[in-house]
């Protein structure tokens, strides 16, 4: 009985991790060349930006909010950095910190609207989404290619690993963020306050936790993550364009949910989110290896998983409610 | 009483909300090393007084002293820092976090700037061991029963070096064994010199654990008493607001012909129960009879009504309406069988606040008819005007938004809503609570006249004299159990109170 | 004079005051700054002009806004309508096809299935998808945003699945009529909107549906206690929202003569929510005005068209929209009103009666 109970919170996480390895195994059996470290690493290289933004999203979801502006913020960061680098000839050393600061402040502004004016997060970040996407077009309607040598260097540099494997610098950044996020959420007062507020904001207030400050900072942190994802994305694309990262917010939310973070707040796993992204990666790779299926199968598969996990979470919650009312 | 011997002292506390004076010049004193019960019916001002102590509400006038020093708690957090900790009925912890975290969140032990989980686990185990609680502190809190959650809440409160511990209805969802465990802990803390304010609706528990009792009624202090010297009946009399001696001579005429269960009882219920809210009970209501449900707050009065009306789906027993056994799974079913229910929570379960008076009146009948059989707007206006006049509802007109009406008039609108469905059984849960005296009398008269027309009525009220005046028979509840039925000569306040008190 | 005052008061207190004022200002702006904005000419027996163009282009949004109004009135939200548009277009276009074939030596267009069947199928599919949303929300008890998120993610994939990842072009003339045809000189799509609007308005105001929906949005518990079958109506509004999205999808698909699973109706769900909100409807549910939402949709389309007409890059509409959303939200936020208006009152020396009473 104890064991059964132990698993329910982690059930999504466990299913996700098992599913990831199962899918990888299926690919390895079916396709030649699938089973290699580099295939796995390529998933990371191609999805580094998604990992980064999905982690920011995880924080927001744990605190019981949502942020649908992240895709647009990524596009804005790409566009603005391209503009500043190419048109204004600013140094990357100025542009990168500037972008990170901008993302943070953008998030803080959204968080402030949500907390102080008590407006639904969905609506506030909807406005933020329009704003960021619109500002891209104010800068330019066309694609701006990035030719800055520093960006070029980072984009093309491959960090060699043993056995002829390699990763990109973006992967290193993503993993650094994963570690930082794990530390933040498990070993700091701020991190635990996020869980407490997401679990029960009223109680958290009565327990004397700084609810407002934490909430605003979480949105700020998410803004920072999207800006970082934007920079990584601009390494990946080497261009700024208004249509970049279209709909990425939904991928980020889906990754978090599949990784065991429900949209009801109070629960969430950074590791889970990482695997949520990787599951999408492995599905993409499978479809690529299969060759005849087109890429939209990824979306359907992801949505199917999403649906499965949401219903699963709902069942867990209602079972909890029922046992509570009986006891 | 000398100052030195008081831990928490309040003098002349006043607190008003728009339209309500919640506390009027209330004094209160808590001594160190005592368990002090705060008693009173709904709206007596208990929770407002607690909120003043915990900094949720700021008082309008008066002074609060802690250990002889004046204090002015600004927020729950501030009150905690001062040494006043509160454990609420709804456990105010984060059940998604672990037990250890719930005790320490906000002041986690740190090591090199990071949370020291080992230390936290060790410290919380130590703390809980002091309370004879041996549980795995790394498990999320939601895994444990409410009783243990209460204990954890107390552990958290104690660790913030509390001097005063306020327990706001902590026992309402505990079973007997758990209550005993909690009491054990309370006694232990009392021995350590802590002052405990204990709020409960269970009379048994008051006498089991408390040293002194303070009674509030309608925002005013009735008095403070040594528990041992206050008989139960006296306690109830003081809560309900009658001097006990007054009842001695009250004579009572028998109303109605409902002394015996007539063959054609409109509603007959056998063994109906809902786990966790009401123990299985039998009940019948005759046509033209007003059945009063009496008992203290939390005794299960409302739960009886909710179970009959299908809001809480019964998990045992059967219901017969007009001699036919029926299944009532939701309010819509109940309404179809001719039942109607006025909830005690007018605001959250009664009015639909942004709709007009007209719509609020028409909605139940329209729901009964279904959306296709639309009552034309002209007809709606006619009906609502008729009822506004009939019930003397004070409103600018049928198009007035209901939330702008006074409580009494809102209540009349809801009565109109149900009368319109021509119910055969009307369940009224505290229909006169929080409304002015004039409207109260009007509603009582209306209820009596409805019964005369042959309608069966179930009437729930906290005010005993009101129940006695209106009912032709009474069912008495205590601690979620129906304990007795009273009718005829026996139906006089003294006797009822003794039944409620279990003497 | 007095009569005018009374009428004015009634107008300003009306729910439609702000939406109409917004529309009026956009049009006023155009009157001064856009050449020939209000000019309407008749070509080939059709009315032409910027205003007609606005009406025509706003039709899909108006349809969505009608469905979304009812959903929002129940305290819900449906973010899957954009995806359902893509699916509707994909179903109809792939069923009609419209291959060129030689029948008896004459070049004719042949549909794979008769057009009415294709249209019916498209609407059926989106209504079923709406029911799926409704089922998740009313029976399984999932929050509306989350439940409709599933379809938002999956929808475009499903649309691509139907079109085999291609952009299907429909050459079949009768189908193009839906989005581009004219009746009595006015765009045919406008008549569709008129019909749907008329039926919906009748249903909500001449039957008890409207009251039930408002009641559920304001207080679902009390509604349940009065005997309203809350989950049935919640289920129905999502199904209806699906139907509206299906119709909008047909118009969009027919208008551009093709079904594009990726881009058809992209982000239109956000416009629909904005239109409802611009129409004076609270996102917290309750009282609603269908006409207000239609006006809201027109305001959005007018802003877009104005920006086109001014020669500013059209994508800047997004910035304008974001500003509009922020303003609406702030005005709807009780906290904001309290902070701003109490300060304003203090400055003017007016004691805020309500706040004073609370203190």
Residues C73-88 have pLDDT tens digits of 999 999 899 999 999 9
Residues paired with B177 in a beta bridge: none
Beta pairing, strands A158-161 & B456-460: unpaired
Instruction: Give the per-residue pLDDT at B245.
Output: 47
End-to-end CA distance of chain A: 16
What's chain B's length in residues?
A: 503
Q: Is the Cβ pair A263, C143 closer than 8 Å? A: yes
Instruction: Give the per-residue pLDDT at A57.
Output: 93
CA distance B293 to chain C (A): 20
Chains A–C, number of C-beta pairs less than 8 Å apart: 123
Mean pLDDT for chain B overall: 82
CA-wise closest residue to B473 among B301, B292, B302, B294: B292
C198 phi, psi to nearest 5 deg: -60, -50
Q: Is A221 left (phi over 0), alpha (psi -120 to 50) or beta?
A: alpha
Q: Is the Cβ pair A310, C141 closer than 8 Å? A: no
Q: Specify whether domain C18-39+46-312 bears CATH 1.20.5.
A: no
For chain C, positions 279-308, list CB contacts with chain A under 8 A.
283
* Interface mutation vs chain B, best among A9, A61, A196, most B CBs within 10 Å: A196
Tokens 């598969």, residue? Answer: A301
Least confident of A271-285, B486-500, C291-305: B486-500
The token duo for C56 is: 């025509």
CA-wise closest residue to C80 among C181, C153, C180: C153
The larger pLDDT score, comparing residue C90 to residue C336, is at C90
Report whether pLDDT(C13) > 50. Answer: yes
CA distance B364 to chain C (A): 5
Instruction: Give the per-residue pLDDT at B110.
Output: 83
Of A126, A306, A311, the CB nearest to C325: A126
Decide: B273 and B315 in contact? Cβ < 8 Å. yes
Report whether pLDDT(B262) > 60. Answer: no
User: Which chain A residues are within 8 Å of C144, Cβ to Cβ?
Assistant: none
Chains within contact range of chain B (3+ C-beta pairs < 8 Å): A, C
Question: What is the pLDDT averaged over residues B155-163?
Answer: 77
C266: exposed, middle or buried (Cβ count in 10 Å: 0-12, 13-18, 19+): middle
Instruction: Give the per-residue pLDDT at C197.
Output: 95
Q: What percent of chain C has pLDDT over 90?
A: 32
Of A130, A136, A306, the CB nearest to C321: A130
The H or E element spanning position B281 is strand B278-286
The H or E element spanning position B86 is strand B84-87
Measure Cα distances from A24 to A37, A278, B34 in Å.
Answer: 11, 10, 66
Instruction: Give the per-residue pLDDT at B42.
Output: 64
Buried b (16+ CB within 10 A) or exposed e, B74-94: eebbebbebbbbbbbbebbbb
The larger pLDDT score, comparing residue C352 to residue A33, is at A33
Question: What is the pLDDT averaged over residues C321-348?
Answer: 68
Question: What is the pLDDT averaged over residues C144-172?
Answer: 82
DSSP state of B140: B
Buried b (16+ CB within 10 A) or exposed e, A111-140: bbbbbebebbbbbbbbbbbbbbbbbbbbbb
* Residue A174 to residue A191: CA distance in whole angstroms: 19
Instruction: Give the per-residue pLDDT at C193.
Output: 93
Residues paired with A87 in a beta bridge: none
Residues paired with A165 in a beta bridge: A161
Cα-based torsion angle of the residue sequence C222, C224, C227, C228 in order, rounded to the nearest 10 degrees: 110
Instruction: Give the per-residue pLDDT at C357.
Output: 35
Q: Is B219 left (phi over 0), alpha (psi -120 to 50) or beta?
A: left
CA distance C153 to chain A (A): 6
Instruction: Give the per-residue pLDDT at B361.
Output: 92
User: Which chain B residues are within 8 Å of C286, Cβ to Cβ?
Assistant: 354
Buried b (16+ CB within 10 A) or exposed e, A250-281: bbbbbbbbbbbbbbbbbbbbbbbbbbbbbbbb
A227: which residues sit within 8 A by CB, 6+ positions away? A73, A77, A99, A100, A102, A103, A104, A106
User: Which chain A residues are within 8 Å of B106, Cβ to Cβ?
Assistant: 189, 193, 207-209
SS3 call for B114: strand
Of A126, A246, A296, the CB nearest to C270: A126
Residues paired with B301 in a beta bridge: none
DSSP state of B255: P
Tokens 């979620």, residue? Answer: B480
C119 phi, psi to nearest 5 deg: -65, -45
Tokens 């996407």, residue? Answer: A133
Report whether pLDDT(C359) > 60. Answer: no
Architecture of domain B3-246: 3-Layer(aba) Sandwich (3.40)
Instruction: Give the per-residue pLDDT at B236.
Output: 77
Decide: B152 and B102 in contact? Cβ < 8 Å. yes
Architecture of domain A14-26+35-320: Orthogonal Bundle (1.10)
Measure Cα distances from A2 to A6, A7, A18, B143 in Å.
Answer: 6, 9, 22, 10
For chain C, positions 75-114, list CB contacts with chain A under 8 A.
77
SS3 call for B81: helix
CA distance A292 to chain C (A): 11
* Interface mutation vs chain B, best among A1, A183, A199, A326, most B CBs within 10 Å: A199
* Residue C247 to residue C238: CA distance in whole angstroms: 14
Cβ neighbours, 10 Å, residue B385: 15
Cβ neighbours, 10 Å, residue B449: 10
Instruction: Give the per-residue pLDDT at A258.
Output: 84
Instruction: Give the per-residue pLDDT at A228.
Output: 93
* Residue C120 to residue C127: CA distance in whole angstroms: 10
Per-residue pLDDT for chain A (327 aa), expressed as one digit of tens each? Answer: 334 444 456 777 788 888 888 888 888 888 877 778 788 888 888 889 999 999 999 999 999 888 988 998 999 999 998 898 888 888 888 888 999 999 999 999 999 988 888 777 887 888 888 888 888 888 887 888 888 888 888 888 888 887 777 888 888 899 999 999 999 988 888 888 899 898 888 888 878 788 889 999 999 999 999 999 999 998 888 888 877 877 788 889 888 888 888 777 888 888 889 998 998 888 888 888 877 777 777 778 878 888 887 787 777 767 665 554 443
Question: What is the pLDDT averaged over residues B106-128?
Answer: 84
Q: Is the Cβ pair B94, A326 closer than 8 Å? A: no
Q: Is the Cβ pair A189, B96 closer than 8 Å? A: no
* Residue B98 to residue B119: CA distance in whole angstroms: 14
Of A66, A124, A300, the CB nearest to C154: A300
Domain spans in chain A, listed from the N-terminal domain onward: 14-26+35-320
Report whether pLDDT(C344) > 60. Answer: no
CA-wise closest residue to B89 among B180, B174, B168: B168
Instruction: Give the per-residue pLDDT at B206.
Output: 85
Of C206, C211, C226, the CB nearest to B417: C226
Instruction: Give the per-residue pLDDT at B43.
Output: 65
Q: What percent of chain B has pLDDT over 70?
A: 90
B456: which residues sit within 8 A by CB, 6+ positions away? B266, B267, B285, B286, B287, B288, B289, B291, B424, B425, B426
Question: What is the pLDDT averaged over residues B196-213?
Answer: 85
Measure Cα distances from A325 to A170, A238, B276, C265 in Å.
Answer: 49, 56, 7, 45
CA distance B451 to chain C (A): 22
Cβ neighbours, 10 Å, residue B302: 24
Measure Cα distances from A107 to A50, A173, A247 in Å.
Answer: 18, 20, 18
The token duo for A59 is: 């924080």
CA-wise closest residue to B492 among B270, B248, B314: B248
C263: which residues sit within 8 A by CB, 6+ positions away? none
Q: Is the Cβ pair C219, B348 closer than 8 Å? A: yes
Domain spans in chain B, listed from the N-terminal domain onward: 3-246, 247-338+423-503, 353-422
CA-wise closest residue to A157 among A172, A146, A177: A172
* Overall fold of domain B247-338+423-503: Rossmann fold (3.40.50)
The residue in chain A having the minimum alpha-carbon distance to the alpha carbon of residue B78 is A208
Instruction: Give the per-residue pLDDT at C107.
Output: 64
Measure Cα distances from C164 to A296, C126, C157 in Å.
Answer: 9, 19, 10
Q: What band does C231 get if pLDDT is binned at 50, 70 and 90?
A: very high
Question: What is the pLDDT averaged over residues C230-248?
Answer: 95
Decide: B88 and B105 in contact? Cβ < 8 Å. no
The residue in chain B having the minimum alpha-carbon distance to the alpha carbon of residue A62 is B96
Instruction: Give the per-residue pLDDT at B479.
Output: 80
The residue in chain B having the minimum alpha-carbon distance to the alpha carbon of residue A209 is B106
Instruction: Give the per-residue pLDDT at C354.
Output: 38
Q: Rg for chain B (alpha carbons), in Å?
A: 25
Whether chain A has a CB inside 8 Å of the CB on C334: the answer is yes
Of these ranges, B248-252, C66-70, C181-185, the one predicted with the greatest mean pLDDT is: C66-70
């Amino acid at each position: 009985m104890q064991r059964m109970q132990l698993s329910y919170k982690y059930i999504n996480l466990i299913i996700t991790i098992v599913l990831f390895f199962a899918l990888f195994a299926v690919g390895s059996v079916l396709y030649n060349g699938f089973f290699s470290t580099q295939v796995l690493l390529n998933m990371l290289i191609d999805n580094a930006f998604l990992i980064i933004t999905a982690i920011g999203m995880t924080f927001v979801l744990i605190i019981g909010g949502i942020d649908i502006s992240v895709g647009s913020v990524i596009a804005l960061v790409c566009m603005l950095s391209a503009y500043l680098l190419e048109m204004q000839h600013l140094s990357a050393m100025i542009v990168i910190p500037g972008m990170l600061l901008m993302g943070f402040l953008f998030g803080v502004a959204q968080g402030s609207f949500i907390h102080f004016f008590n407006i639904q997060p969905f609506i506030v970040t909807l406005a933020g989404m329009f704003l960021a996407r619109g500002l891209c077009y104010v800068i330019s309607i066309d694609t701006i290619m990035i030719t800055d040598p520093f960006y070029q260097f980072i984009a093309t540099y491959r960090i060699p690993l043993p056995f002829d494997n390699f990763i990109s610098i973006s992967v290193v950044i993503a993993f650094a963020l994963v570690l930082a996020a794990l530390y933040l959420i498990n070993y700091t007062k701020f991190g635990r306050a996020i869980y407490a507020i997401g679990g029960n904001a009223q109680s958290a207030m009565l327990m004397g936790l700084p609810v407002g400050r934490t909430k605003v900072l979480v949105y700020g942190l998410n803004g920072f993550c999207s800006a970082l994802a934007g920079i990584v994305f601009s390494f990946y694309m080497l261009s700024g364009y208004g249509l970049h990262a279209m709909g990425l917010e939904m991928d980020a939310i889906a990754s978090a949910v599949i990784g065991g973070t429900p949209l009801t707040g109070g629960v969430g796993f950074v590791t889970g989110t990482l695997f949520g992204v990787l599951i999408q990666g492995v599905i993409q790779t499978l479809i690529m290896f299969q060759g005849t299926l087109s890429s939209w199968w990824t979306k359907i598969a992801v949505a199917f998983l999403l649906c499965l996990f949401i219903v699963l979470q709902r069942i867990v919650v209602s079972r909890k409610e029922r046992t509570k009312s009986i006891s | 009483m000398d100052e030195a011997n008081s831990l928490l002292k309040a003098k002349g506390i006043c607190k008003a909300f728009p339209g309500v004076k919640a506390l009027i010049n209330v004094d209160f004193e808590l001594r160190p090393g005592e368990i002090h019960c705060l008693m009173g019916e709904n709206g007596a001002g208990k929770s407002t007084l607690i909120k003043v102590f915990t900094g949720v509400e700021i008082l309008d006038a008066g002074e609060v002293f802690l250990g002889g020093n004046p204090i002015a708690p600004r927020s729950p957090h501030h009150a905690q820092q001062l040494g006043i900790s509160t454990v609420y009925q709804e456990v105010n912890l984060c059940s998604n976090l672990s037990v250890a975290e719930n005790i320490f969140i906000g002041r986690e032990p740190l090591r090199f700037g990071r949370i020291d989980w080992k230390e936290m686990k060790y410290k919380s185990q130590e703390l809980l061991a002091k309370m004879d609680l041996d549980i795995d502190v790394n498990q999320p809190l939601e895994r444990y029963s409410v009783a243990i959650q209460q204990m954890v809440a107390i552990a958290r409160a104690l660790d913030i070096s509390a001097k005063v511990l306020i327990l706001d209805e902590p026992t309402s969802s505990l079973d007997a064994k758990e209550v005993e465990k909690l009491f054990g802990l309370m006694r232990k803390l009392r021995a350590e010199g802590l002052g405990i304010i204990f709020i409960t609706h269970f009379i048994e528990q008051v006498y089991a654990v408390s040293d002194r009792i303070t009674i509030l009624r309608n925002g005013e202090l009735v008095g403070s008493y040594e528990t041992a010297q206050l008989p139960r009946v006296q306690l109830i009399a003081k809560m309900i607001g009658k001097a006990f001696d007054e009842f001695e001579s009250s004579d009572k005429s028998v109303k109605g012909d409902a002394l015996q269960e007539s063959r054609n009882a409109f509603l007959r219920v056998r063994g109906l129960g809902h786990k966790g809210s009401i123990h299985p009970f039998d009940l019948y209501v005759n046509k033209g009879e007003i059945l009063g449900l009496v008992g203290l707050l939390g005794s299960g009065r409302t739960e009886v009504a909710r179970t009959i009306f299908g809001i809480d789906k019964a998990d045992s027993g059967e219901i017969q309406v007009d001699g036919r056994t029926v299944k009532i799974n939701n309010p819509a079913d109940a309404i179809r069988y001719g039942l109607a229910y006025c909830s005690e929570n007018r605001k959250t379960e009664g009015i639909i606040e942004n709709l007009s008076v007209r719509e609020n009146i028409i909605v139940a009948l329209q729901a009964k008819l279904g959306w296709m059989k639309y009552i034309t707007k002209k007809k709606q206006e006619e009906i609502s005007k008729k009822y506004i006049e009939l019930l003397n509802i004070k409103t600018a007109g049928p198009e007035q938004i209901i939330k702008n009406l006074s409580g009494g008039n809102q209540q009349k609108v809801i009565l109109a809503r149900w009368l319109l469905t021509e119910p055969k059984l009307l369940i009224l849960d505290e229909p006169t609570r929080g409304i002015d005296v004039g409207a109260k009398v009007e509603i009582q008269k209306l209820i009596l006249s409805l019964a005369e027309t042959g309608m069966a009525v179930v009437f729930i009220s906290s005010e005993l004299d009101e129940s006695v005046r209106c009912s032709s028979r009474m069912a008495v509840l205590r601690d979620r159990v129906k304990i007795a039925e009273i009718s005829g000569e026996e139906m006089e306040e003294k006797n009822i109170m003794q039944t409620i008190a279990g003497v | 004079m007095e009569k005018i005052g009374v009428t004015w008061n009634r107008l300003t207190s009306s729910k439609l005051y702000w939406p109409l004022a917004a529309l009026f200002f956009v049009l006023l702006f155009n009157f001064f700054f856009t050449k020939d904005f209000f000019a309407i000419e008749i070509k080939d027996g059709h009315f032409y002009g910027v205003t007609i163009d606005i009406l025509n282009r706003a039709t899909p949004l108006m349809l969505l806004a009608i469905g979304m109004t009812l959903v929002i009135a129940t305290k819900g939200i449906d973010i899957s309508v954009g995806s359902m548009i893509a699916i509707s277009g994909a179903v109809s276009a792939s069923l009609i096809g419209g291959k060129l074939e030689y029948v008896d030596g004459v070049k004719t267009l042949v549909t794979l299935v008769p057009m009415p069947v294709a249209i019916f199928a498209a609407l059926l599919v989106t209504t079923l998808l709406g029911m799926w949303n409704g089922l998740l929300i009313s029976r399984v008890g999932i929050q509306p945003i989350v439940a409709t998120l599933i379809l938002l993610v999956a929808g475009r994939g499903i649309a691509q699945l139907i079109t085999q990842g291609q952009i299907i072009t429909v050459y079949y003339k009768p189908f193009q009529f839906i989005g581009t045809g004219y009746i009595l000189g006015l765009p045919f799509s406008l008549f569709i909107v008129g019909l749907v609007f008329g039926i919906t308005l009748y249903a909500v105001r001449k039957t008890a549906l409207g009251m039930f929906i408002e009641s559920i949005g304001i207080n679902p518990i009390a509604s349940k206690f009065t005997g309203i079958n809350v989950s049935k109506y919640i289920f129905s509004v999502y199904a209806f929202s699906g139907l509206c999205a299906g119709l909008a999808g047909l118009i969009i698909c027919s208008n551009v003569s093709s079904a594009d699973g990726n881009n058809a109706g992209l982000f239109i769900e956000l416009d629909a929510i904005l239109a409802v909100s611009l129409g004076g409807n609270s996102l917290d549910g309750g009282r609603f005005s269908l006409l207000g939402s239609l006006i809201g949709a027109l305001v959005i389309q007018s802003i877009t068209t104005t920006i086109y007409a001014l020669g500013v890059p059209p994508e800047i509409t997004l910035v304008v929209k974001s500003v509009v959303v922020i303003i609406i939200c702030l005005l709807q936020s009780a906290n904001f009103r309290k902070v701003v208006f109490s300060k304003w009152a203090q400055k003017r020396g007016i004691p805020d009666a309500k706040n004073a009473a609370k203190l």
